[in-house]
């Protein structure tokens, strides 16, 4: 199979009606915070146990087409010695990998950040591919206030995302491009829209420069929402209208799917917003999800580090995945939250 066919096969497996992507790629500091909230120590064994539990959720593949793993998880096995990437495949779920190395302050741009990890990326991707990964994810973040992000940050981050995507495609790995305009702060819905439009625009200019094949990538953007400290909340319909408007201005129709990040939204709000978008007129791309916390939070709460709660964990995860699967068709409603 040539590289283009390989990329297309992965896209076909990831972009399916009624399905989305589970982000289970929390870095060590992030998962330590999540575990601390439920009174569990973040040891390698606890992380392995938890991730085995979620990946063995019966019928998870009904609503989840891909899972983004952390590097550590890609090398781990179940108690029966099955590789976790192979476990995904048994569920008809494509294994992927987070490949960025986290963010740093961007020099000469106070308040802005840049993501690192391009050095040695090609070699790492070859290794990840041998371990079963078929797609990758890289996140760049943009802080909003009156002065940020600066033009320097918008351009530098776009360049990094495009270089990453080009390296991935050369290795036969589908890149998920994740520009995240952060929810932190008290900015308005309009300010989020303004910044997101500039960011997405610049990202696609950079992707064109680097000759990234748009049909063989996925976009993982933020939704257009007000900052979480802004007292003015936005309804799912308002979020949907603004988000789709900005995406239609900036994202070419060649991109097969837009898989939103949940970025600090509650599980219910993330699902309701996605549902509202899918109730609007048909769009040129699939509108889907790639949630981390908004899929896993109920499962973590159910677990509390106790193996006796395995079934509760899996029921909680399956339920959230199912509701997001329904939201992909615009057929979700709040009453379904208590109906399971």
Give catalytic residue positions.
Answer: 178, 220
Sign of CA dihedral 248, 250, 253, 256: negative
Cβ neighbourhood burial of 70 (10 Å; 0-12, 13-18, 19+): buried
Distance, in Å, from the CA atom of 100 to the CA atom of 111, rounded to the nearest integer, reads 20
Q: In 3D, which of 194, 198, 130, 125 has the Cα closest to residue 163? A: 125
CB atoms within 10 A of CB 45: 9
Across-strand partners of 135? Answer: 96, 174
Is residue 69 within 8 Å of 115, Cβ to Cβ? no
Q: In 3D, which of 319, 257, 251 has the Cα closest to residue 290? A: 257
Is residue 149 within 8 Å of 202, Cβ to Cβ? no
User: What contacts 24+ positions apart, CB below 8 Å, involve 12-17?
Assistant: 13/65, 13/66, 13/94, 13/134, 14/65, 14/66, 14/94, 14/135, 14/174, 14/218, 14/257, 15/65, 15/218, 15/256, 15/257, 15/286, 15/288, 16/65, 17/286, 17/328, 17/329
Distance, in Å, from the CA atom of 254 to the CA atom of 252, rounded to the nearest integer, reads 5
Q: In 3D, which of 79, 59, 62, 76 has the Cα closest to residue 24? A: 76
């Amino acid at each position: 199979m040539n590289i283009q066919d390989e990329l297309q096969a992965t896209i076909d497996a990831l972009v399916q009606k009624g399905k989305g992507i589970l982000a289970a790629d929390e870095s060590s500091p992030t998962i330590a915070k999540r575990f601390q909230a439920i009174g569990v120590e973040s040891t390698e064994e606890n992380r392995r146990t938890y991730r085995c539990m979620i990946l063995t959720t019966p019928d998870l593949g009904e609503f989840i087409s891909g899972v983004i793993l952390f590097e550590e998880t890609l090398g781990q096995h179940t108690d029966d010695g099955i590789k976790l990437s192979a476990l995904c495949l048994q569920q008809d779920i494509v294994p992927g990998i987070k490949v960025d190395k986290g963010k740093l302050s961007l020099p000469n741009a106070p308040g802005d950040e840049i993501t690192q990890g391009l050095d040695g990326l090609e070699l790492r991707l070859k290794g990840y591919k041998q371990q079963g990964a078929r797609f990758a994810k890289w996140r760049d973040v943009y802080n909003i206030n009156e002065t940020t992000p600066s033009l320097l940050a918008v351009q530098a981050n776009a360049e990094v995302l495009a270089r990453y995507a080009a390296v991935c495609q050369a290795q036969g790995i589908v890149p998920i491009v994740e520009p995240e305009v952060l929810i932190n702060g008290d900015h308005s819905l309009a300010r989020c829209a303004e910044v997101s439009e500039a960011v997405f625009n610049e990202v696609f200019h950079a992707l064109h420069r680097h000759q990234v094949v748009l049909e063989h990538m996925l976009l993982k953007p933020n939704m257009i929402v007000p900052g979480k400290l802004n007292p003015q909340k936005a309804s799912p319909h308002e979020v949907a209208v603004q988000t789709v408007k900005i995406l239609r201005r900036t994202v070419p129709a060649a991109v097969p799917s837009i898989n939103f990040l949940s970025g600090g939204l509650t599980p219910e709000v993330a699902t309701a917003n996605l549902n509202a978008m899918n109730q609007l007129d048909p769009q040129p791309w699939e509108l889907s999800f790639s949630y981390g916390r908004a899929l896993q939070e109920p499962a973590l709460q159910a677990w509390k580090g106790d193996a006796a709660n395995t079934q509760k964990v899996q029921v909680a995860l399956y339920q959230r995945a199912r509701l997001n699967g329904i939201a992909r068709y615009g057929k979700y409603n709040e009453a379904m939250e208590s109906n399971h």
